[in-house]
Amino acid sequence: MGSESKNEGFIALDFARIEPAEEQIRRANEFFENLNKRRTVRDFIDEPIPFELIEKAILTAGTAPSGAHMQPWRFVVVRDPEIKAKIKEAAEKEEYESYHGRMPARWLRRLAPIGTDENKPFLTIAPYLIVVFRITSIEENGETEPTYYSQESVGIAVGILLAALHNMGLATLTHTPSPMKFLQEILERPRNEVPYVLIPVGYPAPDARVPDFKRKDIKEIMSVI
């Protein structure tokens, strides 16, 4: 027991060591090889996917650590074609403004290799859209209290969500139409739930193409002192 204070409200940690070390390395390699195949996909087909997969991915995302364990996230799963169409219309309206004046030239140059524009057909084609909201505050005993480190917490949860969906053989797009306030309105979320990211999920089109991107190598992303 680490400290006398860890009695009430505590349970024994369930932690299984992986042995031998070679097995740790094997699993490390396997996980990397798997996640290194994840690509952001923009061309989906409308083939349905089992709802159970979406639910399990969200349950997995909900295992993320969060500030003061406040779990400041809500995942709104959109499958209704009419709502998807509303989201597409509103997103394309905002994106049109972004691509025609709101984004500075250097940003547009940065996006050119990705080939994006204001048209977002995937918003009605993908079988599910997962709209992630960040809960900024809670109400308790008639008082409003902020959530803590909600940006970090939701970011981590989204990372786990993307990994879980990839691991179950589904493609995702991390989409951030900007500004995203229309999502709060269309999806009728309260004011303390702020849109964070919109993730279309499904199978890629058979002819889907992705930019020929290279990932930074270890020397570029790791410093050891």
Nearer of residues 177 and 195 to ligand IYR, judged by Cβ: 177
Nearer of residues 124 and 147 to ligand IYR, judged by Cβ: 124
Q: Which of 24, 29, 151, 176 binds ligand IYR (CB under 6 A)?
A: 176
d(CA 103, CA 117): 12
- 134 contributes a contact to ligand IYR by CB under 6 A: no
SS3 30: helix
Cα angle 125-131-137, degrees, rounded to a multiple of 5: 170
- 116 contributes a contact to ligand IYR by CB under 6 A: yes
Alpha carbon dihedral 79, 82, 85, 87, in 10-degree steps, equals -70
Nearer of residues 127 and 177 to ligand IYR, judged by Cβ: 177
| CA 95 remoteness from chain centre | 20
Residue pair 43/171 in contact (Cβ under 8 Å)? The answer is no
- 192 contributes a contact to ligand IYR by CB under 6 A: no
Sign of CA dihedral 137, 138, 139, 143: negative
Nearer of residues 85 and 111 to ligand IYR, judged by Cβ: 111
Q: Which of 132, 175, 193, 202 binds ligand IYR (CB under 6 A)?
A: 175
Q: Least Å distance between CB 214 and ligand IYR? A: 16
Q: Which of 46, 100, 178, 190 binds ligand IYR (CB under 6 A)?
A: 178
CB atoms near residue 31 (< 10 Å) = 12
Measured from each CB, the residue nearest to ligand IYR is: 116
Choices 21-29, 142-150, 170-178, 216-224 (CB under 6 A): range interacting with ligand IYR = 170-178
d(CA 109, CA 103): 10
- Interaction site with ligand IYR (CB under 6 A): 95, 98, 111, 114, 116, 175-178
